[in-house]
Amino acid sequence: MRLNELKDKRVLILGFGREGRDSLRFLKKLFPEKVIGVADQKQFPISNFQFTKTKWHLGKNYLKALKNYDIIIKSPGIPAKILRKFRRASQIITSQTEIFFENCPGKIVGITGTKGKSTTASLIYKILKEGGIKAHLVGNIGKPVLNLLFSATPRDVYVYELSSHQLMNLKKSPQIAVFLNIYPEHGDYYQNFKEYLNAKANITRYQKKEDFLVYNSEDKIVEEIAKKSQAKKIPFDATKYEFITNIRNKIPLIGKFNLKNIMAAIAVGKIFGVSDRNIKRAIKKFKSLSHRLEFVGKYKGIEFYNDSLATIPEATIEAIDALGKNLETIILGGYERGQDFKNLARKILESEIETVILFPTTGERIFKEIEKKRKKRKLKYFFTEKMEEAVRFAYQNTKRGRICLLSPASASFNLFKDYKERGNLFKKWIKIFAWAHSHTRA
């Protein structure tokens, strides 16, 4: 959507989180005299926001406001399916991402995948900066984008982490697309896996012949999507894997999946002409992101890893592989999204894991899947609803020199605000118990 199309239309910002607030600030600068609507299911004091000429629609009936507007700028977290009975056929549903794509004069590097987006986007940004390119990290991991349009130039490069929610209904793809992987996810948001897949495919669907698609050729679904793309194709295995091998001991990320993320980032660096020397320097300086197989530390002789962002079983399987034989204790379970835990159960039984700590609701299903296949394999189980108890069980049942991993294979929303709160509580209780132990001994 071009900016001039917003000028004479009644505009509603649907969802007033991080993106929604950025959208309102942008529209107020662009059209200072225009009345803008804001709708959100939360009731909050509007006095907290110093915006004039704003019409607020807050609370449980917020969707009823849709009928009074021509253009709806929808936040990614609001499922499109809940709007159907409230919207008019003539209305335009757009998003911050779509508006930015249509009006950005610079280049966009879009990164998607069920897992690995944030790490890959952050590393691409670091590589481009190391190469002297005027890069900006935006999207989920970076800044909201609309207010950046005021200073955007053709020289700017926007490294944009793109969720399926942001890609859904897009009619324009980035000039450089990175597609990492795809697994069943967000079953509570989409009608089915096909709808989720279609949203993801928008990252390359509208690319042109002069554009680039960097993709994971080992993922069969991603490869099928890549075949339909008009862009110049760069599969991961065509990038310099040897290049990684030469510096592998200095890479601050563990796991085969992170090598793929690094290969994708190298490929993008090459597209922009960044030298091998600068790419190597950026990789060596890169630090792993919080909650993504993050090494918390060694306490009471136990190594703790926080992988709270592992919200699907495939991510947890990758984490188990990455940590290897020293992994003794794993903390699993969370919000129910109907995922299949059969392969995860098999992986646990094939591993050296001895203690499994389980959160509801999916913890019960994971337990049942393990028990179906366990036979004579010995395992200790603990069920809890509290992170404090989970960490206590971990300390009590993990031997010195071994590893405890939080990698839930599930979303967090039933017990925690989000994956960050879950991971931060894990780290907090690790340190509290370690401190209490050292002071008791003293």
Whether residue 316 is preceded by a cis peptide bond, meaning omega within 30 degrees of 0, is no
Give the percent of the chain with pLDDT over 70: 95
Give 234's DSSP letter: E
Determine the pLDDT at residue 245: 63
Determine the pLDDT at residue 42: 92
Mean pLDDT rounded to a whole number for the chain: 92
Cα separation, 428 vs 431, in Å, equals 5
For the chain, the structural domain boundaries read 3-94, 102-285, 294-441
Of the candidates 124, 113, 130, 112, the residue with the CA atom closest to the CA atom of residue 158 = 124
Q: Name the CATH superfamily for 102-285.
A: Mur-like, catalytic domain (3.40.1190.10)
Between the alpha carbon of residue 98 and those of residues 168, 198, 206, the distances in Å are 10, 16, 13
Between the alpha carbon of residue 71 and those of residues 14, 79, 91, 351, 382, the distances in Å are 10, 17, 6, 53, 51
Cα separation, 90 vs 71, in Å, equals 9
CATH topology of domain 3-94: Rossmann fold (3.40.50)
SS3 327: strand
The arithmetic mean of pLDDT across residues 63-89, rounded, is 90
Determine the pLDDT at residue 50: 78
The arithmetic mean of pLDDT across residues 111-129, rounded, is 96
How sure is the predictor about 315, in pLDDT bands with cuts at 50, 70 and 90?
Answer: very high
Decide: 231 and 208 in contact? Cβ < 8 Å: yes
- Residue 71 pLDDT exceeds 50: yes
How sure is the predictor about 246, in pLDDT bands with cuts at 50, 70 and 90?
Answer: low
The arithmetic mean of pLDDT across residues 121-149, rounded, is 94
- Residue 13 pLDDT exceeds 90: yes
The radius of gyration computed from the CA coordinates of the chain, to the nearest angstrom, equals: 23
Residue 52 buriedness (CB in 10 A; 0-12 / 13-18 / 19+): exposed
Tell which phi-psi region holds residue 400, choosing left (phi > 0), alpha (psi between -120 and 50) or beta: beta
Point out the least confidently predicted range of 187-201, 232-246, 313-327: 232-246
Query: What pTM value is reported for the model?
Result: 0.90
Torsion over CA: 309, 312, 318, 322 (sign): positive
In terms of residues, how long is the chain? 442
Torsion over CA: 417, 419, 424, 427 (sign): positive
pLDDT digits (tens, 9 = 90+) for 350-395: 999 999 999 999 999 999 999 999 999 999 999 999 999 999 999 9
- Residue 103 pLDDT exceeds 80: yes
CATH 3.90.190.20 fits 294-441, yes or no: yes
DSSP calls for 298-311: EETTEEEEE-TT--
Between the alpha carbon of residue 31 and those of residues 3, 11, 16, 36, 104, the distances in Å are 10, 11, 19, 9, 18
